[in-house]
Amino acid sequence: MDVPRGKAELLLVYEYVPNGTVADHLHGKLAESCNLSWSTRLSIAVQTADALAYLHESDVIHRDVKTTNILLDENFQVKVADFGLSRLFPNDVSHVSTAPQGTPGYVDPEYYHCYQLTEKSDVFSFGVVLMELISAKPAVDITRHRHDINLSNMAIDRIQNHALQELVDPKLGYDKDHVVQKMVKLVAELGFNCLQPDREMRPSMHEVLELLRGIEKEVMNTQKQVVVDIQES
């Protein structure tokens, strides 16, 4: 790019991410051609939680956590993007008073009603992301029943009524794979806790991260055991 002599230009350069966004793969343009396995979805959840926990430790609230802001590189490694709404969160206050901003379907209801932004607002949004990873359904869909338009409401209803199977993406093989079934239930329970209306009832992102790492470790141990059993048989 040629720049006229004596004229300064500022360029914003983004790293190319060939696999698009998580939303693309779950319910977007790549949903039919590329099926994300459960292990890949769980890895995405762990990496995203890790990034958000890091931000919170640095006193930053993302404020727009959603699957379209979770980018995937060639190895399906996560890059959390779009910090246009992010806020610095002083560690000596309980909340920041500010007009609600974010994306419909992901906004913490307590933040929306009380104008009080906390790190638990990101936790709520991440809970919606977890439910998207489980269901492959968008956070908002006006074609669904009016009580299910918001995925957060739909997920809470299905979990409370012991009907999780109605929520789970059929591509995951939930009914046939007992390992997937167990892990999905654990992640759904975690997502349910993240979506609690009372922010004090939600876990911190650090707690979310540790729980997800534990679930991922259990998956890896199970896969290793399967390999050992096959080799011994």
Active site residues: 64
Q: Are 189 and 179 in contact (CB under 8 A)?
A: no
Tell me which residue has tokens 């720049």: 3
Please report which residue ranges of the chain form alpha helices under DSSP H. Answer: 22-27, 38-57, 109-114, 119-135, 151-160, 178-194, 205-232
Q: Tell me phi and psi for residue 19, to 5 degrees.
A: -100, 15
Query: Residue 45: what residue type?
Result: A
Residue with tokens 């698009």: 20
Question: What is each CA distance from 200 to 23, 94, 116, 167, 189, in whole angstroms?
Answer: 29, 11, 13, 26, 17
Alpha-carbon span 183 to 19, nearest angstrom: 25
Among residues 64, 42, 38, the alpha carbon closest in space to that of 52 is found at 64
In the block, residue with structure tokens 């974010």: 102
Name the packing angle between helices 119-135 and 38-57 (round to 10°).
Answer: 170
